Amino acid sequence: MHKYIPTSNAQQSEMLKSVSVKSVEDLFVDIPEDIRLKRKLNVAGPMSEAELIKSMKELAKDIKTTDDLICFLGAGVYDHFIPSVVKHIVSKPEFYTAYTPYQPEISQGTLQAIYEYQTMICNLTGMDVSNASMYDGATALSEAAKMASVVTNRKKVLVSSSVNPEAKKVLRTYMRFSDIEIVEIDDKEGTIDVDLLKSSIDSNTAAFIVQNPNFFGIIEDLEDIEKMVHENGSLLIMYVEPISLSILKTPGEIGADIAVGDGQPLGNSLNFGGPHLGFMATTKKLIRKLPGRIIGETNDVDGKRGYVLTLQAREQHIRREKATSNICTNHSLNALTAAIYMTALGKKGIKEVALQCFKKSHYAYNQLIKTNKYKMLFNKPFFMEFAIVCNDNSVDAINNVLLNNGIIGGYNLEKEYKKYKNAMLLCVTEKRTKDEIDKLVNIMGGIVNEL
């Protein structure tokens, strides 16, 4: 298969003629002259394939990835081990071009793959129904907030400050153009300020959004919050980390109405931040308001098992004014990757990953505290991320020293939370070995007085 097939001059002329223009420049007449580039691109001339490959490798040689560096950075994207079978299967040509089928019933393989994915997400979250995935965790969260507004006919959404800052920014953008007010509930020592939530929730509140484990890695206690939200007639939206659900209470067990999250930890590479997938699940009661697509299983006229596109609350398929969302779509390839990953590991395997994350992160935390150079920021239970205070030293300066020693350090919480000065959020996944953790501790324990 050719990676790139250039067009000849004759072919270009034929293509231009077919759209009734005389030159390539005529295609850009709607772009103002003053913002057009008036020179040729500053790139090398034509190269052979061998020359081009060599040139690209030369340009890329200084790029360092998690194959070269030891990663202790989380904050929403996580460095988990991905079994080789995942990439082997998902790279097969019949899967690699996966997208939403617009003539669905003739694409039985694609529908079955999505159906299996939906089933696994329901099992993982404890919810009744899942859609066929979404763009990423942040957009899934925003769609959930809009869905809550539609269901309750209310125009205010409360969100905990301990929700991922990037997800909150996307949420605000979405809600701005939906005329939905966003009110942020500040945290109290790393978890939800229940008293502030109680004074903020009112008859116009459509939903309360909470992340668990939250952005600081802390496991929230949601029993009283769930009761408060539902007694107010509002919906509880939980933004969750999927691996943690194998050992923590699921959104379904807690009583959430909508569960969303980013599926990147489920076998998807870091990919420099994307593409990922957003998972979204809800209760039977709200099934017809769930944006996107839902695949169902049935029998054909011969009694054989088959799959159909059951529900699709989207403007492409139903009247625009009746649609829950006008822009949602699914990331089929990424969702397929998640399904293969969950299948490969199974129920016990995912639980083992979660337990290793939990144990190794607590080992790292205890060892760092033992150095007496750092102190805990929050004395709260955590899953695989934890925050420490770097005393009077800059987090960025410590991270620079770590990077020079082949380690990607933690997230500087002060970037988004000004009140948490010199605080670092570290993440330890199942990939990290005891030697790697000890190396981190030794370097961080030895450099504090040198900075």
Domains with residue ranges and CATH for the chain: 70-80+346-450 (3.90.1150.10), 84-342 (3.40.640.10)
C-alpha dist (Å) from residue 91 to 85, 99, 346: 10, 14, 21
Give the residues of the chain that fall short of pLDDT 50. 1
pLDDT at residue number 1: 47
Query: Taking the model in full, what pTM does it have?
Result: 0.88
pLDDT at residue number 70: 98
pLDDT at residue number 17: 92
Q: Give me 321's structure tokens.
A: 């004014």
* Pairwise CA distance, residues 299 & 291, whole Å: 25
pLDDT tens-digit series, residues 297-350: 989 888 889 888 887 755 555 556 666 676 667 788 899 999 999 999 999 999
Reduced to 3 states, what is the DSSP secondary structure of residue 137?
helix
Q: Give me 375's structure tokens.
A: 């102190």
- In 10 A of CB 392, how many CB atoms? 9
Where b means 16+ CB within 10 Å and e means fewer, 213-231 reads: bbbbbbbbebeebbebbee
Contact 268, 80 (CB under 8 A): no
Contact 180, 162 (CB under 8 A): no
pLDDT at residue number 109: 81
